[in-house]
Amino acid sequence: MDLALAEARRAAGEGEIPVGAVLLGPQGSLLGTGRNAREGDPDPTGHAEVIAIREAARALGDRVLDDCTLVVTLEPCAMCAGAILAARLPRVVFGAWDEKAGAAGSVYDLLRDGRLPHPVPEVVSGVRAEQSAALLREFFEQRR
């Protein structure tokens, strides 16, 4: 989570909503990193999770990310949950809950919806949640 938090701080420094993500391989190797880049690119799909998944898929040369773990500072939204499921990620670890758009248990629970034709990943929530939430609070307080 330290690496994901560092990516979130970089995003904030670039004027982006401070969300960071890392994708780890089976042995814990770093396969991909991402931070929000919707404004700078401009890209509506420029979420930290999507960027990290794309980078890891390129590094492995495969769209299926078996035995990998996505670590992200904020609960994934519906779009990111879809990307997680499409990549067949077996584990997702996140920090802060997203009470407005979360899709891993708060507003929706797409990741653990057994009706979808994808394996259900393990979801670990609340890891360094206060630090993740503080970055978001500080960012939005500065914008008001």
Choose the catalytic residue: 7, 16, 49, 75.
49
In angstroms, what is the C-alpha Rg of the chain? 14
77 is in an annotated binding site: yes
Going by their DSSP bridges, the two strands 30-35 and 69-74 should be labelled as unpaired
**Strands across the sheet containing 30-35:** 30-35, 20-24, 69-74, 91-96, 122-124
Residues 105, 113: contact at Cβ < 8 Å?
no
Residue 98's beta-bridge partner residues?
none
Task: Please report, as a single letter, which amino acid is at residue 71.
Answer: V
- Give dist(CA 137, CA 139) in Å, integer: 5
118 is in an annotated binding site: no
User: Could you confirm whether 49 is annotated as catalytic?
Assistant: yes
| Catalytic center residues | 49
**Binding-site residue ranges:** 47, 77, 80
**Binding-site residue ranges for Zn(2+):** 47, 77, 80
